[in-house]
Amino acid sequence: MNWINKVTPPGLKTMMSKKDTPDDLWVKCPASGELIYRSDLEQSWYVTPAGAHLRISPRMRFRILFDDERWEPISLPQVPLDPLKFKDDKPYPARLKAARAKVQNRDIKETEEGGAPLLQEDCMVAAYGKIGGVPAVVLVQDFDFMGGSLGMAAGEAFITAAQLALARKSAFVVCTASGGARMQEGTLSLMQMPRTTLAINDLADAKLPYVVILTDPTSGGVSASYAMLGDVHIAEPGAMIAFSGPRVIEQTIRESLPKGFQRSEFLREKGQVDIVVDRRKLKATVARVLGHLLPVSRRRDDRSALQLTPPKTHAPKPPEPKVKPD
């Protein structure tokens, strides 16, 4: 015990004691370097004052898109756990287990105040609801789950969600975020590219809208397949959309790339992206697009009530009990 502790009154010691603060209280803006309160970011859907669009969870995607933040979760099929018995420094099942624990802990934290259920076993999460009154199946790719890598589970999830859109005569909206194919599944992961393409062809034959929302990052086999086959492509500002990274391209062609290369604004100028829209205006934009592509006269499910989760995504906090004055 040092001399300061000896002369400091007990009450002052309590006031001067070190207080525990959450590790994630502040978030650094990648564009400006500014530190921002996480609570402020949550209110702006994780868009910083400088305009940087940070990565968000599937739950937040659903909250942004669906009317009244209500949806019906979609159960996705199970696939063989480790078909190739792949092992690097860790067995593949161990990596899957760690990824599932990570997203489950995130979802527990996001639903501390209540929330509608999600069904997630891999990088894909699907739900059914309405966007601006238009029935839609929404499939979200979760980059936090092994980089959103495309494997058998993701391919089956895509096909299942597309088939549900066909069955309900609704729109199909996919939010992409991926580093590419999942190497632990080898050729089986690459086979998902043509399989998802066939599912998109079925939607086109039924004249149902397929809208892709490109988020940061969308690359590899995902950008080479279903991410670029939409009827309309909407991208978030500053999102990286590519097949291979800029460093690989520069080393291959031995030239410097243009400023903003492979970003959503650059691709819009070149005609590869239709719309670049701020996340806070995303729902209105998607609703307007779907309203044109699927007018009221073609919405079969509008004639019957949707079986959506009754509570809103975040239930209001119960009132605090009043304390009677002494």
**Which tens digits make up the pLDDT trace of 193-218?**
999 999 999 999 999 999 999 999 99
Mean pLDDT of 19-30: 78
Res. 313: pLDDT tops 70:
no
| Whether 143 contacts 124, CB under 8 Å | no
| Mean of per-residue pLDDT scores for the chain | 89
Is residue 199 within 8 A of residue 163, CB to CB? The reply is yes
Position 316 scores a pLDDT of 47
pLDDT tens-digit map of 56-73:
999 999 999 999 999 999
Proportion of the chain above pLDDT 90, given as a percent: 76
The predicted pLDDT at position 304 comes to 46
What are the two backbone dihedrals, phi and then psi, of residue 214, each rounded to the nearest 5 degrees?
-90, 120
Residues 6+ apart with CB under 8 A from 217: 143, 177, 178, 179, 239, 240, 241, 242
The rounded distance, in Å, linking the Cα atoms of 321 and 326 is 15
Q: Are 65 and 280 in contact (CB under 8 A)?
A: no
Q: Does 317 have pLDDT greater than 90?
A: no
Beta bridge partners of 139: 126, 174
Q: Which helix (H) or strand (E) holds 190?
A: helix 186-190
Which of 83-87, 149-153, 303-307 is the least confident region?
A: 303-307
Q: φ and ψ at 312, to 5 degrees? A: -70, 170
- Rounded to an integer, what distance in angstroms lies between the CA atom of residue 181 and that of residue 149? 5
pTM: 0.87
